[in-house]
Structure 1
């Protein structure tokens, strides 16, 4: 079938809307009509070629939501007409999957192969050139073929245009708090960077009962929003020494937990220095190497650095959990978003990179009506 997709043909190039041929689904695949897709900083990182392994040409996008159009004959638990959020794929049978950690799946490359394992492409250009799939979905397209394990069904009363980002940015931030750090009521946390991931972590910290939730950023407008969403204190680190400020707010002890979403070396180091004795930090930003003193910064303070790929979340549980929190008014991710038409994808990317918009969402199917 012919579809429309935003194709990346070269690093640091704008997205180009093109007509592509989408292959027929196989027996273990699902065809989804994409309603909307969030834009994530990971998309921008790949557009610029920073990761070093993005294959071109490709269709990016990995925060998709949509409606199941067709299923392969071996697919169970998913039916045409189901409303779904799309996230990462996993095999379901390796040791990690069987012990409740699909995010550590042995076959994580399922998300980055670009083509099927038999080398057949999902997308091709009109001249026959294969176009690579991204992160198991390529949601910057009108239709996509995905694995059943990538899908979480959501109630049809939920606005599908809103929920795509639950599959990456919001699940990463909230999952890091709920599943990895697991703060007890009455503990303290600092969140560095108040983009989508950071604000999701902050809202999860509030739900968890943290008594001091300290938001750190260099943009006052984002800090104002953080305060609205539950931060008890905000710090503009452009103007203030953040380590001293957090020590002062915590009677010299430091925070029990911290989350870094920036990946900036100096900020990551600060996220370690602000920890109390026995504290834990989850670095989530797409940064590089940092220099730390293993003895003084970690061993002598009993501190922990913990990994949290996609918040160590099981999507089919965590996405539904976030939807319920949203319904109850405790996870107001809708305050972070701005909608764009599909053809305005480059404007959305620019406004995301500049920090003007926290979470751009491309409305790909403009005929969709919430609740239908």
Structure 2
């Protein structure tokens, strides 16, 4: 293997500006792997900071956490991965704090420290090479494209929410929003045996949902609550997943739920924060559950890898046709932040 002395990576240096920087490559430790990263998808958190809407992390940000690549070197304590294995990025965690030992790795006490690289902060998904703890990568099937495998993290976050919903086969579920995360929610609910109707206002996203085989409703043209009632034999949905950060969507979701014991999953965030829009009395008298979800733990990453590896969900329609090389990362952010876009992939090598 050719010696790699420096890594090149994309980073945000200010609102609306992404650049490519370099830093020396460290030594691979006993419990680490060196990954030649192939593609990284730009997620909502990435491009909203590029837009200046999530600047609380400061700059420079070496972000990107939806990435995949090939193991090209491993430490001597790595036993379940080999050089040449195709992997995707999962969460960092220490494995020894009280949260990690109880299966709550997303709350790891030192998790944030893994994202500190000198003056840079972030997951380094937009790096051409990066050294990662063996615990933070998961093996993927070679028949997936790098862009598809890079969906491991967003699929894991969806699995976390679906598990919190305690979804049962044949339950009627509404997904509000047919963007990337809305579509993954709809696909995962279907994979777990639920019946899905997708509500979406944008024509191209409605078309994506239809092509994927989902019943759809356009609330700009039809009474979405009435359509849901028709879909559920006038009983209302067992669950509604709100995959857009919008107060009106939250209000509408409560109206779509069945009269008693409905579950509402608040999947999406936004800035400024949307409101739930319902009262405590609504929750009380209807025995309604309002469920929040965020991040994922190791068990969800493993479950997500199975969904992708055995093709129980198909994320190909959620990848934009235009791909950008690392040197053009600023242009990639421009496209990713355009209304109606799905995931835009950054190619980290030209070979």
Say whether the 8 Å CA contact 1:103–1:309 is kept in structure 2. Answer: no
Equivalent residue, structure 2, for 1:346: 330
Q: Unaligned regions of 5+ residues in structure 1, if any?
A: 116-120, 122-129, 368-372
Q: Which region of structure 1 is more displaced relative to structure 2, 314-323 or 19-28?
A: 19-28
Q: How many residues align?
A: 342
**DSSP-derived class of the 1:92 partner:** coil
Equivalent residue, structure 2, for 1:304: 289
Matched, 1:249 2:237: no
Structure 1 residues 255 and 107 mapped into 2: Cα distance closer, same or farther (>3 Å)?
farther
Equivalent residue, structure 1, for 2:20: 17
- Select which of 75, 94, 97 maps to 1:94: 97
Deviation at 1:165, TM superposition (A): 1.8
Equivalent residue, structure 1, for 2:61: 58
Distance 1:336 1:262 in 2: 16
Say whether the 8 Å CA contact 1:161–1:363 is kept in structure 2. Answer: no
Structure 1 residues 166 and 215 mapped into 2: Cα distance closer, same or farther (>3 Å)?
same
Matched, 1:279 2:281: no
Equivalent residue, structure 2, for 1:235: 217
Matched, 1:163 2:167: no
Distance 1:48 1:209 in 2: 38
Equivalent residue, structure 2, for 1:34: 37
Structure 1 residues 275 and 95 mapped into 2: Cα distance closer, same or farther (>3 Å)?
farther
Distance 2:213 2:164 in 1: 20
Say whether the 8 Å CA contact 2:88–2:140 is kept in structure 1. Answer: yes
Deviation at 1:228, TM superposition (A): 2.2
Deviation at 1:203, TM superposition (A): 0.9
Q: 1:222-244 deviations in whole A, cap 9, x for unaligned? A: 1121122231x211223334334
**DSSP-derived class of the 2:238 partner:** strand
Q: 1:228-279 deviations in whole A, cap 9, x for unaligned? A: 2231x21122333433432343233221111112111221232233221211
Deviation at 1:298, TM superposition (A): 1.1
Q: Which region of structure 1 is more displaced relative to structure 2, 285-294 or 82-91?
A: 285-294
Deviation at 1:175, TM superposition (A): 4.0
Distance 1:305 1:312 in 2: 21
Matched, 1:333 2:315: yes
Distance 1:291 1:317 in 2: 32
Deviation at 1:316, TM superposition (A): 4.8
Distance 2:227 2:73 in 1: 55
- TM-score when scaled to structure 2? 0.87
Deviation at 1:32, TM superposition (A): 1.5
Deviation at 1:311, TM superposition (A): 4.9
Q: Which region of structure 1 is more displaced relative to structure 2, 344-353 or 80-89?
A: 344-353
Say whether the 8 Å CA contact 1:102–1:314 is kept in structure 2. Answer: no
Q: Which region of structure 1 is more displaced relative to structure 2, 187-196 or 14-23?
A: 14-23
Distance 2:84 2:33 in 1: 12
Deviation at 1:76, TM superposition (A): 4.5
Distance 2:251 2:336 in 1: 25
- TM-score when scaled to structure 1? 0.83
Distance 1:262 1:214 in 2: 15
Deviation at 1:89, TM superposition (A): 1.0
Distance 2:297 2:176 in 1: 19
Equivalent residue, structure 1, for 2:172: 188
Structure 1 residues 313 and 202 mapped into 2: Cα distance closer, same or farther (>3 Å)?
farther
Deviation at 1:164, TM superposition (A): 0.7
Q: Unaligned regions of 5+ residues in structure 2, if any?
A: none
Q: 1:281-327 deviations in whole A, cap 9, x for unaligned? A: 2212122151544433211111111222235562552233122341x
Structure 1 residues 106 and 294 mapped into 2: Cα distance closer, same or farther (>3 Å)?
farther
Distance 1:301 1:364 in 2: 51
Q: CA RMSD in A?
A: 2.4
Distance 2:264 2:113 in 1: 29
Structure 1 residues 248 and 316 mapped into 2: Cα distance closer, same or farther (>3 Å)?
closer
**DSSP-derived class of the 1:227 partner:** helix
Equivalent residue, structure 1, for 2:8: 4
Equivalent residue, structure 2, for 1:118: none
Distance 2:98 2:324 in 1: 42
